[in-house]
């Protein structure tokens, strides 16, 4: 009996506006988050930039401060370190939230531009509102991956769930996926994520994606600068790449430090699609671009004049370029044979020339 284990099954694609999964280009998602800076016109401008950059989708976050935390003075509700050091959770989420009244115009503009648009809900009311807007999927943020009731409620819509896995242990990922599947989800995409803001490339640990593949489709929610980490993730099988997008980091805002500017998003889209195209299908079929090069492979040539009846030797036959003669592997069979006719120096060898 063979000891070789069977290759893992390839996860079927999940439709979120278009198929997402193995065999399809990675879906590039622009995260709006707090980069609207409290202005609807700026939020719409970011949606337009996402479309111009070639992104496939744009994602919002749907919450109110009340859905996230308490307006309380206790130390528990204040941030002691990191990019938001010194702020209260309430003030941070009050600044960062995207008003529900903006969602309809943002959804409409994204759809006008051909973008898939969905959101991250943080409570049941957000899911209800997004259902009314026809959201095609739901994103579960890394910090909410342990909120099984929220996952169950989102899964009950029968829409696909995209779940980020920042900070999560294997058991927590398993529990979140099991909860989604038990409550009717339309499919699960797990995004490898490091909840560091920003994330250093050397901390992204993309090999972690291999462990997530046991659950099916895998992608990356990335907070590192530039395109390098997304390119590497696509090469490792990421089917979705999520990056924050802003008009300019210098404009500030809670998420500015780990957001891409428009030209950088253009490069992420271009580079990820090129990386995916470079993967190919793994077949042995050679590309058409090689066809003109085949003639310059090595083959067997007469490198000296050979008289009729003269034996072929290492002195008068060699493997050289171009490739119009016998294959180099035939050299042992050729040496010691005699020339049937005169063979001039520079003649490609053929069996009919040999006795």
User: Domain extents for the chain?
Assistant: 14-279, 290-353
Label the pairing between strands 217-222 and 27-31: unpaired
Q: Which residue has the tokens 């939230």?
A: 97
pLDDT in the model for residue 82: 80
Does the domain formed by 14-279 have CATH 3.30.70.1400? no
pLDDT in the model for residue 65: 95
290-353 — its CATH code?
3.90.1210.10
HSE-up (13 A, CA, CB side) for residue 159? 24
d(CA 313, CA 334): 8
d(CA 278, CA 97): 39
Q: In the chain, what is the straight-line distance between the N-terminal and C-terminal CA atoms, in Å?
A: 50
Residue 45: exposure state from Cβ atoms within 10 A (0-12, 13-18, ≥19): middle
CA–CA distances in Å: residue 46 to residues 58, 75, 107, 310, 318: 9, 35, 12, 79, 64
User: Are 14-279 and 290-353 in the same CATH fold?
Assistant: no
d(CA 297, CA 220): 42
Backbone angles phi, psi at 100, to 5 degrees: -60, -30
Give the residue ranges of the chain where pLDDT is below 70. 1-9
Predicted TM-score (pTM) of this structure = 0.89
Angle subtended at Cα 242 by Cα 206 and Cα 54, rounded to the nearest 5 degrees? 125
């Amino acid at each position: 009996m063979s000891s070789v284990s069977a290759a893992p099954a390839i996860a079927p694609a999940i439709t979120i506006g278009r198929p997402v999964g193995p065999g399809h280009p990675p879906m590039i998602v622009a995260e709006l988050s707090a980069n609207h800076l409290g202005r609807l016109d700026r939020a719409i401008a970011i949606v337009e930039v996402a479309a111009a950059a070639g992104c496939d989708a744009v994602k919002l976050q749907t919450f109110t401060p009340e859905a996230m935390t308490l307006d309380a003075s206790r130390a528990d509700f204040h941030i002691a370190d990191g990019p938001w050091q010194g702020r209260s959770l309430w003030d941070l989420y009050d600044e960062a939230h995207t008003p529900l009244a903006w969602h309809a115009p943002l959804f409409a503009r994204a759809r006008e531009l051909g973008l898939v648009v969905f959101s991250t809900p943080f409570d049941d009311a957000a899911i209800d509102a997004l259902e009314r807007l026809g959201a095609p999927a739901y994103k579960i943020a890394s910090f909410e991956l342990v909120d099984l009731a929220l996952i169950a409620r989102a899964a009950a819509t029968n829409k696909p769930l995209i779940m980020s896995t920042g900070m999560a242990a294997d058991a927590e990922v398993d529990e979140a996926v099991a909860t989604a599947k038990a409550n009717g989800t339309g499919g699960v995409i797990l995004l490898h994520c490091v909840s560091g803001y920003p994330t250093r490339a050397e901390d992204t640990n993309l090999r972690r994606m291999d462990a997530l593949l046991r659950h099916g489709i895998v992608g990356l929610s990335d907070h590192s600068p530039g395109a390098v980490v997304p390119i590497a993730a696509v090469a490792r099988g990421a089917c979705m790449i999520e990056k924050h997008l802003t008009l300019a980091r210098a404009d500030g805002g809670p998420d500015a430090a780990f957001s891409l500017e428009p030209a950088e998003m253009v490069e992420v889209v271009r580079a990820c699609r090129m990386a995916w195209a470079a993967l190919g299908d793994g077949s042995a079929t050679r590309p058409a671009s090689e066809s003109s090069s085949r003639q310059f492979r090595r083959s067997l040539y007469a490198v000296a004049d050979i008289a009729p009846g003269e034996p072929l030797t290492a002195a008068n036959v060699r493997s050289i370029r171009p490739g119009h003669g016998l294959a180099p592997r035939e050299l042992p069979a050729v040496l010691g044979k005699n020339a049937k006719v005169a063979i001039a120096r520079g003649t490609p060898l053929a069996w009919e020339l040999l006795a």
